[in-house]
Amino acid sequence: MNKRQLLQSFLAASALSFGLSPAFAQTTTPIKFQLDWRFEGPAALFLHPAAKGYFKAAGLDVTIDAGNGSGGTVTRVASGAYDMGFADLAALMEFHANNPDSPNKPVAVMMVYNNTPASVMALKKSGITKPADLAGKKLGAPVFDAGRRAFPIFAKANSIGAVNWTAMDPTLRETMLIRGDIDAITGFTFTSLLNLEARGAKAADIVVLPYPDYGVKLYGNVIIASPKLIKENPEAVKKFLSAFAKGAKEVIANPAVAIESVKARDGIIDSKLETRRLQLAIDTVINSADARSEGFGAVNAGRMSLMASQVSDAFNTKTRVSPDAVWTAALLPPAAELNGVLRK
């Protein structure tokens, strides 16, 4: 036995003497991870495997912070402030195309929201029942909202005439719709729909026009990683994705239990409401028919190329989006680990 092997044996024995698993005797890799939004239901996808110790068991010291929008997450990973994150693929594509000379453009390494959660929502009393009814109406959303940014794609797919936009803080979006200040809003379905209900609207009185149901097959949120981490420690990324997939399977199988991990990070959340939000996200964008068809974590090359072209046009980017530059499947877990994540 050489000196290195002797040292490893000593560390493992020491760890076991303190009741720790051999994994803790090894050097852990720190990873700073930024979510796209607050600690709400969907955050359980990451907080649950962290709480269960799956990242630690893989030799990773993962810290998870709340976010304030996908654009901010992409920027912070690009700056080096975070190693990995969770962000809307369109926001990542926009960053790539508008910052062609940036040396640290993040890369998408796993698909999570196989369909964009974006939708247009209105109250039935507005008379809006289909996309064509939006022509000439006053729509509202924060300027950075994914649905608002991608609305030109939705409008083109459904031959919608010109609309008028009003910008506001995210906290005022649903309130302004309820008050009648605007005719419709864009937002993530599992966020705005429940926010409208919380403000007194009845589910039966809300019209929801999901982008995927009206010809817009954009991908949604992905796990992103810095090219520095991918280059210097690809094994750490692989281990993260493997631990995440293990946790995601449990979250999808039992959302109510998984919400406990979110409650542990933000004690004031309404567990029942956030369980509904998580279940809605699972049903519409995570365990969707498209996701089951393409496979959890993966993408369809043709669909990815089409989205790159659509984003280039709708966002009027400085350069065209290159699908191969924004996405890699090289670090995904083996198919055997991914096949059982989604439920039939």
For the cut 50, the answer to whether the pLDDT of residue 4 exceeds it is no
At CA 154, angle to CA 156 and CA 290, rounded to 5? 125
pLDDT digits (tens, 9 = 90+) for 120-147: 999 999 999 999 999 999 999 999 899 9
For the cut 80, the answer to whether the pLDDT of residue 21 exceeds it is no
- The reply to whether 29-115+219-338 and 118-214 are identical in fold is yes
Q: What are the residues whose beta carbons fall under 8 Å from the beta carbon of 255, sequence distance 6 or more? A: 41, 44, 275, 278, 279, 282
Amino acid at the residue 202: K
**Domains of the chain, residue spans:** 29-115+219-338, 118-214
The domain over range 29-115+219-338 is classified in CATH as 3.40.50.150: no
For the cut 50, the answer to whether the pLDDT of residue 190 exceeds it is yes
Share of the chain above pLDDT 70, in %: 92
Helices and strands per DSSP (H, E), number in the chain: 18, 10
For the cut 90, the answer to whether the pLDDT of residue 16 exceeds it is no
With beta carbons less than 8 A apart as the criterion, state whether 212 and 118 touch: no
**Phi/psi at 232 (nearest 5 deg)?**
-85, -30
For the cut 90, the answer to whether the pLDDT of residue 77 exceeds it is yes
Compute the distance between CA of residue 257 and CA of residue 279 in angstroms, rounded to an integer. 12
- Supply the DSSP string of 154-170, one letter for each residue: HHHHTT----EEE---G
For the cut 70, the answer to whether the pLDDT of residue 13 exceeds it is no
Q: How confident is the model at residue 12 (pLDDT cuts 50, 70, 90)?
A: very low
Q: How confident is the model at residue 75 (pLDDT cuts 50, 70, 90)?
A: very high
Section 168-191 average pLDDT:
96
Section 308-315 average pLDDT:
95
Neighbours of 337 (CB within 10 A): 16
Residue 343's pLDDT is 87
Q: Which of 10-24, 110-124, 179-193, 316-330 has the lowest mean pLDDT?
A: 10-24
pLDDT digits (tens, 9 = 90+) for 253-280: 999 999 999 999 999 999 999 999 999 9
Neighbours of 189 (CB within 10 A): 24
pLDDT digits (tens, 9 = 90+) for 212-266: 999 999 999 999 999 999 999 999 999 999 999 999 999 999 999 999 999 999 9
* Element spanning 188, H or E: strand 184-188
For residue 81, what are the β-bridge partners? Answer: none
Residue for token pair 């975070």: 82
Residue 27's pLDDT is 86
Cα–Cα nearest to 117, from 251, 28, 218, 206: 218
- Supply the DSSP string of 256-283, one letter for each residue: HHHHHHHHHH-TTS-HHHHHHHHHHHII
Compute the distance between CA of residue 315 and CA of residue 97 in angstroms, rounded to an integer. 10
Pairing label, strands 84-88, 29-34? parallel
Q: Provide, for the chain, the percentages of residues in helix, strand and coil under a 3-state DSSP scheme, each rounded to the nearest 5.
A: 50, 15, 35
Section 284-291 average pLDDT:
96
Q: How confident is the model at residue 26 (pLDDT cuts 50, 70, 90)?
A: low
Architecture of domain 118-214: 3-Layer(aba) Sandwich (3.40)
